[in-house]
Amino acid sequence: MATLLARTSQSADHPAVLDAIGETDCSLAIWERAPFADFAALVEGDPADLRFECTPADCAAMLAAGLQANGFGGEALHPALAADAAQLAERFCAALNLARLELRLEVVRTDSCRKWHADYVTARLITTYVGEGTDWLDESNADRVAAGQEPLNPQRLRTFDVGLFKGKLATERPAIHRSPPIAGTGAVRLLLVLNPASRLFVEGG
């Protein structure tokens, strides 16, 4: 029987920590960062979600155009969001040695992906600009869920934290996570998800 490697996480307050996802036993790398803007105005009204493929160099311009075309409010905030997403796209592609990526920007008002799961990708980057961040499990709690038990102490990314989650295509011990339960609370989330390009994705953060 093959030996399963430990499922570990690494976190730090600098972006270089995201490169740790390339380490064999690292399933989750977290860049802990402070909020730098109030993006709440972007989710006012009924904006439509964005989804497109791009290169890191094209990301900012394509996202800015999409924010305008899809009814996102807070127009003065669009450049800051586009610039941050482009920076994350560049770091995501560098960490995974990718030329292109898929970007999703979603306004979440429900329990969109409430079950504990791992993504069917090599890795996925998730950050939340408005609302609660993504829930995730450490090694012992992930094993509890695999055994059909409830986790004892789920962890949660803070708003603006960046999580790089290793998926099923990269390891037998992927990062286990879920969207935070918000249905019925009136809460709203603005969620950015970066994936490797040209795959079909059905799970969120």
First-residue to last-residue Cα distance in the chain: 32
pLDDT of 6 over the 80 cut: no
pLDDT on residue 19: 97
pLDDT bucket at 130, cuts 50 / 70 / 90: very high
Q: Please report whether residue 3 resides in a domain.
A: no
Structural domain total, the chain: 1
Q: Please report whether residue 6 resides in a domain.
A: no
Average pLDDT over residues 47-64: 97
Average pLDDT over residues 148-153: 91
Q: What is the pTM of this model?
A: 0.92
Q: Please report whether residue 48 resides in a domain.
A: yes
pLDDT on residue 2: 39
Q: Please report whether residue 19 resides in a domain.
A: no
Tokens of 60: 């900012």
Q: Please report whether residue 21 resides in a domain.
A: no
Q: Please report whether residue 129 resides in a domain.
A: yes
Biggest alpha carbon distance in the chain? 57
Q: Please report whether residue 9 resides in a domain.
A: no
Rg (CA), the chain: 16
pLDDT bucket at 7, cuts 50 / 70 / 90: confident
pLDDT of 155 over the 80 cut: yes
pLDDT of 203 over the 50 cut: no
> Hunting for tokens 């040695």 — which residue is that?
97
| Domain limits for position 83 | 28-196
Average pLDDT over residues 78-86: 98
Q: Rounded to 5 degrees, what angle do the CA atoms 80, 86, 87 make?
A: 90
Instruction: Tell me which of 10-19, 67-76, 111-120 is least confident.
Output: 111-120
Q: Please report whether residue 148 resides in a domain.
A: yes
Question: For the domain that residue 37 is a member of, what is the CATH number?
Answer: 2.60.120.10
Give per-residue pLDDT as tens, 90-125: 999 999 999 999 999 999 987 776 789 999 999 999
